[in-house]
Amino acid sequence: MTDYQTLLDDETRAFIARSDSFYPPDTATKTIAEQRAVYDRMCQAFDAPHPPGLTVQDAPMGGVPCRIYEPAKPGPATILYFHGGGFVVGGLESHDAICAELSALTGCRLISADYRLAPEHKHPAQFDDALAATRAVAARWPGRLLLAGDSAGGNLAAAVAQAARRHGPQIGGVVLVYPGLGGPPDTASMTAHAHAPMLSASDVAFYHDIRFGPGGHPKADPTAAPLQDTDFRGLPPTLIHVAEADPLASEGELYAQRLRAAGVPALSVTDKGLVHGHLRARHSVGRARTSFDAIAKGLTALAQGQIPWRGAL
């Protein structure tokens, strides 16, 4: 059994305790409305002011509600961001400060997509919305387009990149943060961190079931589970940040391995001593701040046509 008292530092344990005070570990047993309410309250508790100099407006992209963050002189790329929340919770407000700060740190226009949620909307509704928003953003702002997302949003970013490889638009790079990519149920991290704080293996199973419904788990469908693809060639450079104390960590590592085996520049970084959801801890946990800054630097490099761990594209 993993010793989280040793693995996690005091700041991270304090972050977990504060998160649990709003979003207790048994939240997945509550009604969907209750889950969304407590998730929104938790995210609000970790909110932060927007950095100065950003223009923010809401506008639909491809019929999908979106929020657009623009620095005074945006460039050289546009970032489309998909929020986490197990495909059940979250939206424009839950990740508002995160997106604003990423836009400011990268100097890039960033669009946050408010895709439809389960269980009201089963798969492939979330993927369909993500792909529609991607195509609309690419049409409105021609040039380098990056995809990014955390947790469930990381799943969508990877799935859209796979679909866009075949049908367009061209994607210049992908950044995934503790993504759930539909890996096998017996990975090393799923076993070692089955009872991890912030996200457990049973939580993963719950959100998986609710996205598809009883008996609706798709097979060989990379739009639902990017790791189920059979051909990873031609995908854009991909940077993945996984949290060490997270049942999903092995999925990010496995995805990077499959990309590299197909000749795609890919790197999986394990953020030591961190847990799922640590983007919200960037202002209270030193390790989370270091990870957040590295994520922003990775996006900045990809926006400039650089592979962060190699150099020029």
Give the helix/strand (H/E) hosting 113. Answer: strand 109-113
Exactly one of 193, 241, 276, 278 is catalytic; which is it? 276
Q: For 210-220, write each residue's pLDDT tens digit.
A: 999 776 678 88
Looking at the chain, the whole-number percentage of residues with pLDDT higher than 70 is 98
Range 205-211, long-range pairs (CB < 8 A, 24+ positions): 206/28, 206/86, 207/28, 207/86, 207/87, 207/88, 207/152, 207/180, 210/86, 210/87, 210/88, 210/118, 210/119, 211/86, 211/87, 211/88, 211/118, 211/119, 211/122, 211/123, 211/126
How many whole angstroms from its chain centre is CA 236? 16
Exactly one of 246, 250, 271, 291 is catalytic; which is it? 246
Angstrom CA distances, 274 to 26, 124, 155, 243, 283, stand at 21, 31, 20, 5, 14
For domain 4-308, the CATH superfamily is: Alpha/Beta hydrolase fold, catalytic domain (3.40.50.1820)
> Does the annotation mark 276 as catalytic?
yes
> Is there a contact between 172 and 146 (Cβ–Cβ < 8 Å)?
yes
Q: For the chain, what is the mean pLDDT?
A: 95
Task: Provide the whole-model pTM.
Answer: 0.97
DSSP 29: G
pLDDT band at 89; cut points 50, 70, 90: very high
The pLDDT, as a whole number, for residue 312 is 63
- Report domain extents, the chain: 4-308
Helix (H, G, I), strand (E, B) or coil at 292: helix
DSSP 266: E
User: Encoding tokens for residue 163?
Assistant: 């679909």
Asked if the model's pLDDT at residue 313 lies above 70, the reply is no
Q: For 126-166, write each residue's pLDDT tens digit.
A: 999 999 999 999 999 999 999 999 999 999 999 999 999 98
Exactly one of 151, 189, 200, 250 is catalytic; which is it? 151
What is the Cα–Cα distance from 91 to 82, expressed in whole angstroms? 9
